[in-house]
Amino acid sequence: MHPDAQWKAKSIMCNKSLQMLDDNFAKKSIPRTECQTKEVDNAIKLAEKLGITGTPTIILSSGKMHSGTMSAEQLIELIDGKKNK
């Protein structure tokens, strides 16, 4: 996990701010908010329990899991159940 990921996720959750989320994805700095929230810790625990080790991870209704980025074409093929190229 990225060294700043946990505090950034908690800050975004505590502020319930889509703007902070957008800014973070745009590589802009976001303020560090010291707060108590269990959502991020609970999500990390659930991911570990499910064997998810990275983001993004997609879990299909069939239970098939795919970790890592992919092109839009590959994602459509994955969802449609076609063999990835």
* Span 35-61, pLDDT tens digits: 888 999 999 899 999 999 888 899 888
- 42 and 59 fall within a common domain: no
Which domain covers residue 70, as residue numbers?
A: 54-85
- CA 79 vs CA 30, 58, 63, 64, 76: distances in Å: 34, 10, 12, 10, 5
**Long-range contacts made by residues 14-19, C-beta under 8 angstroms, separation at least 24?**
none
- Indicate the pTM of the whole model: 0.66
- 5 and 40 fall within a common domain: yes
- 65 and 45 fall within a common domain: no
Query: How many angstroms separate the CA atoms of 41 and 14, rounded?
Result: 13
- 20 and 60 fall within a common domain: no
- 38 and 4 fall within a common domain: yes
pLDDT over 90 percentage in the chain: 55
pLDDT over 70 percentage in the chain: 94
* Residue 65: DSSP 8-state: E
- 64 and 36 fall within a common domain: no
- 43 and 82 fall within a common domain: no
